[in-house]
Amino acid sequence: MSGNFCLKKYSSDKEYAKLMKKRAAISLLLVVFGIVTLAISLYCRHKGLLSISDFRQGVFAGIGTGLALFGLILFFICISIIKNESKLKAARIYESDERNIAITTESISIATVVLLISMYVVFVLSIFMEIDIIIAIAIFVLLFVLTTIISAKINSHRM
């Protein structure tokens, strides 16, 4: 279970089992999205509908396959946890463990700083390339700043 995102405490196995059922449903959705992505890519390639390069079509197909496989693996993990009581309890304790929650929070904050620095570097380099990249990065940064401000306001009322 190492590598799981631990962000919330679950006081009972019943509550955690409900979360696992939700995760299983979401993982099936990922499988569907993956298959749809792969199908669109293969259909367009077959019919020659999209005037994009082979490389881009390959990336599209790769994302679809990866998403479907990831969803399928996640689904089987969730089901195996739901069906086994001792596994369910161990998974709940691992995910609700306050030290693991602290580790996840710290890791996310470090990753956020790295992400913002990387985006800045791409932003600077993209001046020599395409304007679309600059616009996309600007939108992402704006979205990030807005989300941070709004969630800080909401959390300051909750705590």
Residues near another protein (CB under 8 A) are: 93-94, 96-100, 102
| Closest by CA position to 97, among listed 9, 2, 5 | 9
Nearer to another protein, 21 or 89 (CB): 89
Nearer to another protein, 93 or 136 (CB): 93
Query: Are the CB atoms for 120 and 44 separated by under 8 Å?
Result: no
Shortest gap between Cβ of 94 and another protein (angstroms)? 6
| Nearby residues of 116 by Cβ (< 8 Å), 6 or more positions away | 141, 144
Nearer to another protein, 97 or 130 (CB): 97
Nearer to another protein, 42 or 93 (CB): 93
Shortest gap between Cβ of 6 and another protein (angstroms)? 10
Q: Which residue carries 């993990």 as its tokens?
A: 77
Shortest gap between Cβ of 31 and another protein (angstroms)? 31
Distance CA 1, CA 96 (A): 12
Shortest gap between Cβ of 97 and another protein (angstroms)? 5
Give the dihedral sign, CA 144/147/151/152. positive
